[in-house]
Amino acid sequence: MEFINEERINDILKNPALKKEDYQKTVIEKAKLKKGISVEEAGALLNIETPELYQELFLTANELKQSIYGNRLVMFAPLYLTNACVNNCLYCGFRKDNKELTRRTLSIDEVGQEADSLIRQGHKRLLLVCGEHPKISNVEFVGEAIRKIYSLDYNGNNIRRVNVNIAPLSLEDFKKLNSYEIGTYQLFQETYHYDTYKIMHPSGPKKDYAYRLTAPNRAFEAGIDDLGIGALFGLTDPKWETLAMLMHAEYMEATLGVGPHTISVPRLEPALNAPSANQPPNAVDDLTFKKIIAVLRLAAPYTGIILSTRERAELRRELFNVGISQISAGSKTSPGSYKDSENPESHGQKDMEQFSLGDHRSLNEVVKDVCEQGYMPSFCTACYRSGRTGDRFMALAKDGTIGHICSPNAMATFKEYMIDFADKGTIEVGEKALAEQVEKLPEKTKNKTKSMISKLENGERDVYF
């Protein structure tokens, strides 16, 4: 726990030298070398106030993301297994004391129906999410759900990577979880600020700050080497939170030899009977949020940064330009809601959801929009299936190889999506974007990509390298 050094963070925030523009400019220059920056230097960037300088920050974040990963944006959707929960997080609609929430736990067959609905929309990557309930959301149940999801197939289309965001486990249970072939294990500390954490988590197992903070290390020991971290913005001072999260990343790098695979930046959204969500104690405005994402990209250039549908479409578009590399699309936050929404008579499941969303567009609409913004939607799951995880993935990211793998795989999986799922409008925009992007590839990769595309046109599926 000592690695979240509150004194060090407080000193950074007070330090007048870190508010000087000249110094902030030198930090931006240093970040361009793609070697990351220290927590102190990130503190200096978070202090940037002048529009010229934060525009420079935004441009640099975009350049870094583009030069490492190219213009691909990886797509996924969350799948909720249950909204039953024994915790009482003051910001969450699933909290135990929310008596107005209609509780629902999916059967394994219903999990299959949800996944099937997502496969038929074109998704290839899911994030499993659930409340914490020892009798319901235990590792065996999650494992069975994963098996069911991987077993489904719809004309060669299937879920190829299941990431998991569930409450922290013991070492033994993490080993079991790993045996189900998960992708990334994600866990958000919510707030790294100890006193705030204590207030926000008044009861249930989640009130143990240290057990949660040390979970990524236990997961790693159990063999899971793609680990995601995150903080729930709005609970405490956002600059403080960002620096603490970077300290966590620094600690992971030092102790595990590899930093986080992803960083998530959820921001508080309104939720039923969740006092701290409906009146966030430290609401984060859009500009501050944008600066935070850009600073994270400069500080951890090789890490995936995930943006969810909590945010509105217009803001999401802006944030793609400051280093976001993965996004959810077409999401719902209550168990059973994908299947339910296929029913034209359905009125939604407001009384079952975890929080309300800012972006309600379908996957097809988001894909089209992403293309129009000059990004390449990606459904790629190649790295994890080819053993490129943990430090092996990071090594490829650091030596620049990953971009040469990501771009062609993004293009092939996007082509596959267009053949099987896109509507006419998306195909029009998408084919044009794809043709342009393929021509921009270096000769060798271009030929490989064209050959993957023709295989897909000839009926093959799941083509990647």
Task: Report the interface residues with ligand SF4, using CB under 6 A.
Answer: 85, 87, 89, 92, 94-95, 131-132, 206
Closest CA to 115 of 310, 339, 367: 339
Name, in order, each residue with C-beta under 8 angstroms of 172's C-beta and a sequence gap of 6 or more.
Answer: none
Residue span 167-196 as binding mask against ligand SAM, x where in contact by CB under 6 A, dash where not: x-------------------xx-x------
**Binds ligand SAM by CB under 6 A, chosen from 15, 66, 165, 362:** 165
Amino acid at 35: K
Helical ranges in 264-389 per DSSP H: 275-278, 286-299, 313-320, 337-340, 363-372, 382-385
Min dist CB 91 to ligand SF4, Å, is 7
Instruction: Name the segment binding ligand SAM (CB under 6 A); options: 12-20, 30-38, 262-270, 340-348.
Output: 262-270
Q: Name which of 79 and 371 has its Cβ closer to ligand SAM.
A: 79
Give the contact letters, 298-337, x = binds to ligand SAM (CB under 6 A), - = no.
------------x---------------------------
Binding of ligand SAM at residue 260 (CB under 6 A)?
Answer: no
Q: Which partner from the list ligand SAM, ligand SF4, none does 165 bind, CB cut-off 5 to 8 Å by kind?
A: ligand SAM
By CB atoms closer than 10 A (0-12, 13-18, 19+), residue 331 is buried
- Residue 85 CB, nearest approach to ligand SAM (Å): 6
User: 242 vs 334, which CB is nearer to ligand SF4?
Assistant: 334
Q: Where are the alpha helices (DSSP H) in 258-333?
A: 275-278, 286-299, 313-320
Choose the one of ligand SAM, ligand SF4, none that binds residue 310, judging by a C-beta under 5 to 8 angstroms depending on kind. ligand SAM
If binding means CB under 6 A, how many residues of this protein chain bind ligand SAM?
A: 21
For 178-309, list the strands marked E by DSSP.
185-190, 227-231, 262-264, 304-307
Does 70 interact with ligand SAM (rule: CB under 6 A)? no
Sign of CA dihedral 224, 254, 195, 280: negative
Return the H-helix or E-strand segment holding 253: helix 238-256
Minimum separation from the CB atom of position 62 to ligand SF4 (A): 32
Position 359 contacts ligand SAM (CB under 6 A) = no
DSSP string, 1-13: -TTS-HHHHHHHH
Which residues inside 5-64 make contact with ligand SAM, applying CB under 6 A? none
* CA atoms in the 13 A half-sphere facing the CB of 36: 15
User: Which range binds ligand SAM by CB under 6 A, 65-73, 271-279, 343-351, 403-411?
Assistant: 271-279
Residues numbered 116 to 135 that lie near ligand SAM (CB under 6 A) are 129, 131-132
End-to-end CA, the chain: 40
Question: Is residue 148 within 8 Å of residue 388, measured between CB atoms?
Answer: no
Residue placing its CB nearer to ligand SAM in the complex, 39 or 136:
136
Neighbouring-strand partners of residue 82: 105
Residue 463, classed as helix, strand or coil, is coil
CB of 359 to ligand SF4, least distance (A): 20
Min separation Cβ 232 and ligand SAM, Å: 4
Residues 6+ apart with CB under 8 A from 68: 34, 301, 302, 397, 400, 402, 403
Interface residue list for ligand SAM (CB under 6 A): 91-92, 129, 131-132, 165-167, 187-188, 190, 232, 266, 268-269, 271, 274, 277, 310, 354-355
